[in-house]
């Protein structure tokens, strides 16, 4: 069996990662949970993959059936990404496929929780906020001189409401980051096993379709019309659409900076340093919009000549 000992080692890693979910380490290990299954599914044929994963499922099943459910949960996006790797799809296609698989599972869990267990996300978030902010609320109640430091019940309710409103954006961003982390680690691993996997385009070649400018303008119009709405579907759109697009434009801005540095033959470290303010500070994403709307890159290329 090709990669026999390596694949056995990855099966053991997968087992250890699953077992870590019952420890405080889960905050870290969850980020890498898809990796072993992606490596195994991509490097092995279907029969070999089952022979490696089945013992893991049996072992964790003896401990608790919950582990089996968790293992299946993490297997599905891993199988999707592995399938795309086997098809030699582009890196971005694989990342997006993984992201949509993870996002789909998030939504499925919320749906099942609502239908089967009467789970109310808004109530849950509000209860969590009440518990977390109780000390500050009590502080303002006990000492009128410290009202400015305390939280009222209305403040907590407002905060929990807006937390629920931005959950769609949170799920999308976290799904994308998990998929990116998985690809970033899996690709060099598979290459070391002589299984070539396409890599992402260099940052200097990152370009969004110009249609994203129109998406942003539509988002601005929606926000102007419905931004004052306190509830409803349109309120959730206004709370998520523009922030998501700004994140996308930050990526475009970073791509432009890497292009500028490449054309000027500066060190890549310069591009990395310039990217930090783009990520940390608001407003600099507008460079990405200008880069899409105007031929900045062509002007830089011409000026170099």
Which pLDDT tens digit goes with each residue over 210-263? 889 998 898 888 888 876 666 666 777 777 888 899 999 999 999 999 999 998
Kindly state whether residues 222 and 114 are assigned to the same domain.
Answer: no
Range of the domain at 260: 203-305
Residue 111 has pLDDT above 90, yes or no: no
Residue that terminates a domain, selected from 179, 200, 221:
200
Residue 160 has pLDDT above 90, yes or no: no
In a domain, 149, yes or no: no
As a whole number of Å, the CA-based R_g of the chain is: 23
Instruction: Give the Å distances, CA to CA, from 183 to 36, 96, 195.
Output: 12, 11, 14
In a domain, 128, yes or no: no
Kindly state whether residues 302 and 232 are assigned to the same domain.
Answer: yes
Kindly state whether residues 208 and 186 are assigned to the same domain.
Answer: no
How confident is residue 133, by pLDDT bands cut at 50, 70 and 90? low
What does the block give as tokens for 25? Answer: 């380490």
Instruction: Give the Å distances, CA to CA, from 157 to 128, 129, 132, 234.
Output: 11, 8, 12, 20
Kindly state whether residues 184 and 234 are assigned to the same domain.
Answer: no
| pTM (predicted TM-score) | 0.85
> Percent of the chain beyond pLDDT 90?
43
Which has the higher per-residue pLDDT, 120 or 275?
275
Q: Quickly list DSSP for 74-114.
A: HHHHHHHHHHHHHTT--HHHHHHHHHHHHHHHHHHHHHHHH
pLDDT at residue 165, rounded to an integer: 81
Residue that terminates a domain, selected from 150, 176, 200:
200
59/68 Cα distance (integer angstroms): 9
CA angle 180, 41, 94 (to 5 degrees): 30
pLDDT at residue 241, rounded to an integer: 85
43/187 Cα distance (integer angstroms): 11
* C-beta of residue 180 within 8 angstroms of C-beta of residue 30: no
pLDDT at residue 151, rounded to an integer: 60
pLDDT at residue 152, rounded to an integer: 65
Residue 17 has pLDDT above 80, yes or no: yes
Average pLDDT over residues 276-285: 90
pLDDT at residue 199, rounded to an integer: 87
**Using the 8-state DSSP alphabet, how is residue 7 labeled?**
H
The total number of structural domains that make up the chain? 2
Determine the straight-line distance between the first and last CA of the chain, rounded to whole angstroms.
56
Kindly state whether residues 103 and 16 are assigned to the same domain.
Answer: yes
* C-beta of residue 49 within 8 angstroms of C-beta of residue 40: yes
Residue 64 has pLDDT above 70, yes or no: yes
Judged on CB neighbours under 10 Å (0-12, 13-18, 19+), 243 is middle
pLDDT digits (tens, 9 = 90+) for 170-221: 999 999 999 999 999 999 999 888 888 888 888 888 888 888 999 889 888 8
| Nearest alpha carbon to residue 40 among 68, 72, 2 | 2
pLDDT at residue 300, rounded to an integer: 81
Kindly state whether residues 113 and 234 are assigned to the same domain.
Answer: no
Average pLDDT over residues 15-32: 90
How confident is residue 153, by pLDDT bands cut at 50, 70 and 90? low
Kindly state whether residues 215 and 259 are assigned to the same domain.
Answer: yes
pLDDT at residue 112, rounded to an integer: 87
The mean predicted confidence, pLDDT, of the chain is 85
Which has the higher per-residue pLDDT, 93 or 130?
93
Which has the higher per-residue pLDDT, 238 or 55?
55
């Amino acid at each position: 069996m090709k990669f026999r000992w390596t694949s056995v080692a990855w099966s053991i890693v997968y087992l250890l990662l699953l077992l870590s979910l019952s420890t405080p380490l889960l905050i870290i290990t969850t980020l890498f949970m898809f990796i072993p299954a992606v490596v195994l599914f991509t490097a092995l044929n279907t029969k070999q993959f089952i022979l490696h994963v089945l013992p893991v499922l049996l072992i964790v099943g003896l401990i608790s059936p919950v582990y089996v459910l968790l293992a299946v949960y993490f297997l599905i996006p891993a199988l999707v990404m592995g399938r795309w790797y086997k098809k030699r799809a582009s890196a971005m296609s694989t990342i997006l496929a993984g992201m949509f698989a993870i996002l789909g599972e998030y939504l499925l869990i919320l749906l099942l929780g609502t239908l089967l267990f009467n789970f109310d996300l808004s109530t849950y978030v509000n209860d969590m906020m009440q518990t977390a902010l109780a000390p500050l609320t009590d502080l303002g109640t006990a000492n009128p001189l410290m009202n400015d430091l305390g939280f009222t019940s209305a403040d907590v309710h407002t905060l929990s409401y807006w937390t629920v409103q931005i959950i769609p954006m949170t799920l999308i961003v976290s799904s994308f980051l998990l998929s990116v982390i998985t690809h970033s680690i899996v690709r060099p691993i598979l290459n070391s096993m002589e299984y070539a996997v396409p890599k992402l385009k260099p940052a200097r070649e990152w370009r969004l379709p110009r249609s994203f400018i129109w998406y942003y303008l539509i988002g601005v119009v929606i926000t102007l019309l419905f931004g004052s709405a306190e509830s409803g579907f349109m309120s959730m759109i206004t709370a998520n659409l523009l922030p998501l697009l700004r994140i996308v434009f930050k990526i475009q801005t970073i791509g432009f900076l890497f292009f500028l540095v490449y054309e000027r033959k500066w060190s890549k470290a310069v591009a990395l340093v310039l990217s930090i303010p783009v990520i940390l500070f608001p407003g600099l994403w507008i460079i990405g919009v200008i880069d899409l709307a105007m031929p900045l890159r062509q002007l830089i290329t011409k000026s170099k000549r």
